[in-house]
Amino acid sequence: PTEVAVNGNAGGCPIDHAALARAQGCPVSAPAAEFDPFGDGYQQDPPEYVRWARDKEPVFYSPKLGYWVVTRYDDIKAVFRDNHTFSPSIALEKITPTGPEANAVLASYGYAMNRTLVNEDEPAHMPRRRALMDPFTPEALKHHEPMVRRLTREYVDRFIDDGRADLVDQMLWEVPLTVALHFLGVPEEDMDRLRAYSIAHTVNTWGRPKPEEQVAVAHAVGNFWQLAGSILDKMRQDPDAPGWMQYGIRKQQELPDVVTDSYLHSMMMAGIVAAHETTANASANAIKLLLQHPDAWRELCEDPGLLPNAVEECLRHNGSVAAWRRLATRDTEIAGVAIPAGARLLIVSSSANHDERHFTDADFFDIRRENASDQLTFGYGAHQCMGKNLARMEMQIFLEELTRRLPHLRLAEQQFTYVPNTSFRGPEHLWVEWDPADNPERRDSALLSQRQPVRIGEPSTHAISRKLRVASVTRAADGIARIRLESPDGKPLPRWTPGSHIDIECGDTGLSRQYSLCGDPAAPGTLEIAVLREAQGRGGSAWIHEHVRPGGILRARGPRNHFRMDESAASLVFIAGGIGITPISAMARRARELGMDYQLHYSGRTRGCMALLDELAQLHGERLHLHISDEGGRNDFAALLGRPTPGAQVYACGPERMLAALQQACAGWPEDSLRVEHFHSTLATLDPSREHAFEAELKDSGIVVQVPAGQTLLAALRGANIDVQSDCEEGLCGSCEVRVLGGAVDHRDVVLTRNERAAGNRMMACCSRAQGGRIVLEL
Ligand code: HEM
Q: What's the complex ipTM?
A: 0.99
Give the start-end residues of each E strand in 392-464. 410-411, 431-433
Does ligand 1 have an atom closer than 6 angstroms to the CB of 320? yes
Q: Which of 273, 327, 378 to mutate to test the pocket of ligand 1 (most atoms within 8 A of CB)?
A: 378
Q: In a mutational test of the pocket of ligand 1, which residue from 120, 385, 392, 398 has the highest number of ligand atoms less than 8 Å from its CB?
A: 385
CA of 68 to the centre of ligand 1 (A): 23
Picking from 4, 6, 18, 5, the residue whose alpha carbon sits closest to that of residue 63 is 18
The set of residues, in sequence order, having a beta carbon less than 8 Å from that of 568 and lying 6+ positions away, is none
* Residue 464, pLDDT score: 78
Which tens digits make up the pLDDT trace of 729-763? 888 878 889 999 999 999 999 888 888 899 999 99
Amino acid at site 777: L
* Ligand 1 site, residue 177, Cβ cutoff 6 A: no
**Using a 6 Å cutoff on CB, does residue 205 contact ligand 1?**
no
Cβ–Cβ < 8 Å for 274, 136 = no
Distance CA 405, CA 450 (A): 10
Q: CA-to-CA distance for 347 and 339, rounded, in angstroms? A: 13
What pLDDT does residue 429 have? Answer: 96
Tell me, using a 6 A CB cutoff, whether residue 334 lines ligand 1: no
What is the atom index within ligand 1 of the atom nearest the CA of 276? 26
Which residue type occupies 150? R
Looking at residue 189, its pLDDT comes to: 66
Q: Is 600 helix (H, G, I), strand (E, B) or coil?
A: strand
The type of residue at 102 is: A
Q: Is 248 in the pocket of ligand 1 (CB under 6 A)?
A: no
Using DSSP, state whether 557 is helix, strand or coil: strand
Helix or strand or coil: residue 546? helix
668 CA distance to ligand 1 middle (Å) = 54
Across 236-247, b (16+ Cβ under 10 Å) vs e yields eeebeeebbbbb
Distance, CA of 483 to chain centre? 33
Give 169's DSSP letter: I
pLDDT < 70 positions in the chain: 1-26, 189-192, 195, 461-463, 679-684
Q: 764: left (phi > 0), else alpha (psi -120 to 50), else beta?
A: beta
Tally of CB atoms within 10 A around 696 = 25
Of ligand 1's atoms, which has the minimum distance to the CA of residue 136? Answer: 28
Atom of ligand 1 nearest to the CA of 391: 26
Report the nearest-CA residue for atom 25 of ligand 1: 387
Ligand 1 within 6 A of CB of 620: no
282 lines ligand 1 (CB under 6 A): yes
**What's the gap in Å between 20 CA and the centre of ligand 1?**
40
Ligand 1 atom 36, closest CA: 383
Atom of ligand 1 nearest to the CA of 119: 37
Distance from the alpha carbon of residue 389 to the mean position of ligand 1, in angstroms = 10
Put simply, whether the predicted model's pTM sits higher than 0.90 gets the answer: no
Which residue of 278, 279, 395, 458 sits with most ligand 1 atoms within 8 Å of its CB, as the best mutation to test the pocket?
A: 278
- The letter for the amino acid at 720 is A
pLDDT of residue 768: 95
Residue 625 CA to residue 419 CA, distance in Å, equals 70
Binding site membership of 278 for ligand 1 (Cβ less than 6 Å): yes
Q: For helices 261-292 and 174-184, what crossing angle results, to 10°?
A: 150
User: Are the C-beta atoms of residues 424 and 377 closer than 8 Å to each other?
Assistant: no
Instruction: Give me ligand 1 centre to Cα 364, in Å.
Output: 26
Spatial CB neighbours of 191, under 8 Å, sequence gap ≥ 6: 174, 177, 178
